[in-house]
A and B are shown apart, each in its own frame.
Chain A
Amino acid sequence: MKFRAKIVDTACLNHFTRVSNMIAKLAKTCTLRISPDKLNFILSDRVANGGVSMWCELEQENFFSEFQMEGVSAENNEIYLELTSENLSRALKTAQNARALKIKLTNKHFPCLTVSIELLSVSSSSRVVTHDIPVKVIPRKLWKDLQEPTVPDADVSIYLPVLKTMKSVVEKMKNISNHLIIEANLNGELNLKIETELVCVTTHFKDLGNPPLASENASQDRNLEQMAEVHIDIRKLLQFLAGQQVNPTKATCRPTELPLGSTLGGHIYCGLVCRASHVESGCSLNSMNDDHRSAAHVQLTLQQVSL
Chain B
Amino acid sequence: MRVKSSVTNVFGKAIQALSRVSDELWLDPSEKGLALRSVNSCRSAYGCVLFSPVFFQHYQWSASVKMNDTDIILNLNCRLGMKSILPIFRCLNSLEKNVEKCKIFTRSDKCKVVIQFFCRHGIKKIHNVCFQESRPLQVIFQKNMCANTLVIQPRVLAEAIVLFTSSQEEVTLAVTPLKVCIKSSNEESMDLTDSVYSEMFVGPDEFDFFQIGIDTEITFCFKELKGVLTFSEAIHAPIAIHFDFPGKPMALSIDDMLLEANFILATLADEPSRASSLQTLYLSQKQRRSEPIHSNSKAGKNITSKVPEYISRKVEPKRLYSNETPTNISTLENCGSPLMKRANKDITEVPESDGNLSEVPESSVSDTEDVPGSPCLRKFSCMFFGAASSDQQEPFSLPFQSLATASGSEEDMNNGSFSTF
B162–A84 CB distance below 8 A: no
Contact code string A80-112 (vs B, CB < 8 Å = 1, else 0): 000010010011011000000000000011101
Q: Is the interface of B mostly helix, strand, loop or mixed?
A: mixed
A131–B205 CB distance below 8 A: no
A155 in the interface (beta carbon within 8 A): no
A134 in the interface (beta carbon within 8 A): yes
B54 in the interface (beta carbon within 8 A): no
Q: Given A90-B165, A121-B206, do A128 and B201 touch, yes or no (CB 8 Å)?
A: yes
B215 in the interface (beta carbon within 8 A): no
Q: Given A123-B205, A123-B206, A124-B205, do A129 and B163 touch, yes or no (CB 8 Å)?
A: yes
Q: Given A94-B163, A109-B190, A110-B193, do A132 and B198 touch, yes or no (CB 8 Å)?
A: yes
A134–B193 CB distance below 8 A: yes
- Write the nearest CB–CB distance from A92 to chain B, whole angstroms: 12
Q: Given A109-B190, A134-B195, do A127 and B162 touch, yes or no (CB 8 Å)?
A: no
A238 in the interface (beta carbon within 8 A): no
B203–A125 CB distance below 8 A: yes
Contact code string B114-132 (vs A, CB < 8 Å = 1, else 0): 0000000000000000000
User: What residue of chain A has the Cβ atom nearest to residue B195's Cβ?
Assistant: A134
Contact of A129 among B193, B194, B195, B199 (CB under 8 A): B199
Contact code string B174-209 (vs A, CB < 8 Å = 1, else 0): 000000000000000110011111111111011000
Q: Given A94-B162, A132-B198, do A125 and B193 touch, yes or no (CB 8 Å)?
A: no
A130 in the interface (beta carbon within 8 A): yes
- Write the nearest CB–CB distance from A276 to chain B, whole angstroms: 42
A129–B205 alpha-carbon span in the complex (Å) = 17
B194–A134 CB distance below 8 A: yes
B196–A127 CB distance below 8 A: no
A132–B203 CB distance below 8 A: no
A93–B205 CB distance below 8 A: no
> B: which residues have CB within 8 A of A?
162-163, 165, 189-190, 193-203, 205-206
Q: Which 9 A-B pairs have the closest CB atoms?
A: A125-B203, A132-B197, A129-B200, A131-B198, A128-B201, A87-B196, A123-B205, A130-B199, A133-B196
Could you show 23 A-B contacts with beta carbons less than 8 Å apart? A84-B194, A91-B196, A91-B198, A94-B162, A110-B193, A112-B197, A121-B206, A123-B203, A124-B205, A125-B205, A127-B200, A127-B201, A127-B203, A129-B163, A129-B199, A131-B163, A131-B198, A132-B196, A132-B197, A132-B198, A134-B193, A134-B194, A134-B196
> A: which residues have CB within 8 A of B?
84, 87, 90-91, 93-94, 108-110, 112, 121-125, 127-134
A-B contact sample (7 more), CB < 8 A, given A110-B193, A125-B205: A94-B163, A125-B206, A129-B201, A130-B199, A130-B200, A131-B196, A134-B193
